[in-house]
Amino acid sequence: MPLLLRKPTLPTFLLAVLCLATTGVAAQGTDAERQAFQRMLDSRQQFHATLEREAQRITQAAAQELADPVRWEAVRAQRLEEMRDMLGLLPWPARTPLNLRVTGVLDKGSYVIEKIAFESMPRVYVTGNLYLPKQRAQPVPAIVYVCGHSYSPHGDKAQYQRHGISFAKNGYAAFILDSIQIAETFALHHGLYSQEMFDWYARGYTPAGVEVWNAMRAIDYLETRAEVDASRIGMTGRSGGAAMSFFTAAVDPRVKVVVPVMGISTYAANLKHDTQKGHCDCMFCINTYKHDMLHQGALIAPRPLLMAHGVKDDLFPVEGYQEFERIISRLYGGYGEGRKFRNIEVDTGHQDSDFLREEAIRFFDEHLLGQPKRTLDMDYSNADPATLAVFAGQPPADAENYRIHETFTTRPPSGDFASLAAWQQRRVELLAAVRKLLPDPEEEALPRMDIHPRREGEGKAPVLVYVASPGEDTRYHNLLLSGAHSRDTVMRVVVWPRGVQEAPWPRIVERDALRNAMHVGETPDSLRLRDVRRALRHVATLPGADGARITIAGRGNSGILGMYAAILEPYVQQVILMDAPESHRQGPLFLNILRHTDLPEAAALLAPRRLLFYGHMPAAYRYTRHVYALHGEPDKPDVTMHLHFAAEGQHGHGMASGW
């Protein structure tokens, strides 16, 4: 269980003991070791408290925006565009040919089941079963059913067939879609949850975007079927399927009625209860614009919306869905459509039931058929799951589903620029995007800093700002920053961004912090960058510091935090990168950054200021050197072997070595 942050608990204590044991810091450890470990625990608690406050602010701001239809309609179009962007659907992907395949039909007496595959994008295959009633006097309404996580080698559609049967036996067409996680062609939902694909956030990628697009393409197909009344399309699903039905209805007005079952809360409740630890990555948009789930409900309003929740369901806290119900009920009432919104509470955990299956059909009856309460046929007999498979264990060899996270949102790298003018045009565009992604720091307390004034020389001193990395300590910094010959002519400042301590966060805690931060439109690294920028602004004002001669350095991802801080703080004179990563795929992780650029191009934003690599320059940064050459400064991306010499302004390698 991850380290919880609201108050000390038994799991927290057990994790602390585990960390102490694995790091060798037990009760008999030194005072310094115990203090370092306590700082780590405190930093984690403080970090989560910051996220909780921001989540509360987001939910409260959403409630104010949705106070009445007049206020909401003033921003609705903007929020819709933002929602699409957070799914990776702005602009819409091309509506390429569906290349539909029907690989078999099962006759079940009063209904038939068609086994269907289509390509939502070229070589991205969607499998599903279309349930059609045989008795049709006219075109029938259609329901898109999106599945939750229920495992079967034949796709999760095989585990939800009772819903297709019930809809078909009561006069509806029902298209049950496999999710990409549990399908006949392999792809992932659990990239961050369990597979450490943390670059998904840098890509601005959520599998929810693909699932929504697949559902929209399914509607495209249903509109071509003579048996279907395209003006009466509804959508439903449970758990992950609840989220997909909710998201799809929010961005596609063709969904006239929606019934998400066990899938809605508020971000304030989610952060308070740390629900992310139990959630798949598909359950959330990349919350760049700091929406609440309330916004998605408002984008559906005033179309009919029925939701259902279990009071024992830890994934969707009672206080969260009740707050959602209160605010969205008020909005529907403002539209004069109060009867079109309802929430059902059941005394269960996170589970489906015959009762909820029947309630969903009755809601569709009311709002798609205009049908008064009738006797429903809810009996069902599941087919052998293997008979529902579309590809019978032989999916297309050219399927690219498994790579969709790499291609859905990531921008291809920029090519070489032929002229300085061409680069300058790109620079203006890119710098604006970076400033939007990484806004100015708010007024918060300064991060922890270790400041060492110089002892040699007079007047204002050049400043070497070093961004600490997890696991480093003061002794390490003293050895590293004094250089090979213990010079002391430079003011040295070590910045400890939030969450960076001598005792690093356990890996699971770092993951949980990342997922929780995304819910409020941040990452740990974007917040750490704010700390570095605040520290730089403070350092520039220190007595004895020469604000025109500031060098910032760091190792690995911390060095890149320093680089971005320098990009955004133009008074920084130069940057030194140690063991620099070559791509944001390794870090640092900023939401959506790979939609815009990657590290070698971002580094070029420093030109013509000096950029140095400690010991060696990775091959990917040859691209950066090309941009510097356009500025007439091909040697300014260079290698240094001595931090102090570089901070003093000595950039060659021919100086005396006997200091």
Are 212 and 181 a contacting pair, CB within 8 Å?
no
* Helix or strand (DSSP H, E) at 228: strand 228-238
Tell me the residue length of the chain. 659
Instruction: Return the beta strands (E) in 149-212 as ranges.
Output: 173-177
DSSP string, 116-151: EEEEEETTEEEEEEEEEES--SS-EEEEEEE--S--
* Helix or strand (DSSP H, E) at 644: helix 643-648
pTM of the complete model beyond 0.85: yes
68: pLDDT strictly greater than 80:
yes
What pLDDT shows up at residue 6? 30
Domain encompassing residue 32: 10-64
284 and 325 share one domain: yes
Per-residue pLDDT tens digits for 211-267: 999 999 999 999 999 999 999 999 999 999 999 999 999 999 999 999 999 999 999
What pLDDT shows up at residue 169? 98
Q: Where are the alpha helices (DSSP H) in 177-291?
A: 199-203, 207-222, 240-251, 267-273
266 and 149 share one domain: yes
At 26, the pLDDT band (50, 70, 90 cuts) reads very low
Residue 342 pairs in a beta bridge with 306
At 606, the pLDDT band (50, 70, 90 cuts) reads very high
326 and 444 share one domain: no
Residue 117 pairs in a beta bridge with 101, 127
Is residue 413 one of the residues assigned to a domain?
no
Cα–Cα distance, 386 to 34 (Å, whole number): 58
Identify residue 416 by its one-letter amino acid code. Answer: D
| Domain end call among 407, 436, 453 | 407
Q: What is the mean pLDDT of residues 505-520?
A: 95
Per-residue pLDDT tens digits for 297-352: 999 999 999 999 999 999 999 999 999 999 999 999 999 999 999 999 999 999 99
What pLDDT shows up at residue 659? 55
| Domain end call among 373, 407, 441 | 407
To the nearest whole percent, how much of the chain has pLDDT over 70?
A: 94
Cα–Cα distance, 235 to 216 (Å, whole number): 11
Per-residue pLDDT tens digits for 412-452: 999 999 999 999 999 999 999 999 999 999 888 899 999 99
Are 45 and 513 a contacting pair, CB within 8 Å?
no
Per-residue pLDDT tens digits for 173-216: 999 999 998 999 989 999 999 999 999 999 999 999 999 999 99
Is residue 5 one of the residues assigned to a domain?
no
What pLDDT shows up at residue 1? 25
At 489, the pLDDT band (50, 70, 90 cuts) reads confident
Tokens of 457: 């020389």
Tokens of 648: 């003093």
Is residue 472 one of the residues assigned to a domain?
yes
47 and 92 share one domain: no
- Count of the separate structural domains present in the chain: 3
Cα–Cα distance, 450 to 465 (Å, whole number): 10
Q: What is the mean pLDDT of residues 144-168?
A: 94
Residue partners of 645: CB distance under 8 A and separation at least 6: 483, 651, 655
Are 245 and 259 a contacting pair, CB within 8 Å?
yes
Are 637 and 617 a contacting pair, CB within 8 Å?
yes
Backbone angles phi, psi at 570, to 5 degrees: -70, -10
Q: What is the mean pLDDT of residues 123-147?
A: 97
| Domain end call among 357, 381, 407 | 407
What pLDDT shows up at residue 5? 31
Helix (H, G, I), strand (E, B) or coil at 308: strand
Per-residue pLDDT tens digits for 267-282: 999 999 999 999 999 9
497 and 597 share one domain: yes
Is residue 577 one of the residues assigned to a domain?
yes
66: pLDDT strictly greater than 90:
yes
Per-residue pLDDT tens digits for 76-111: 999 999 999 999 999 999 999 999 999 999 999 999
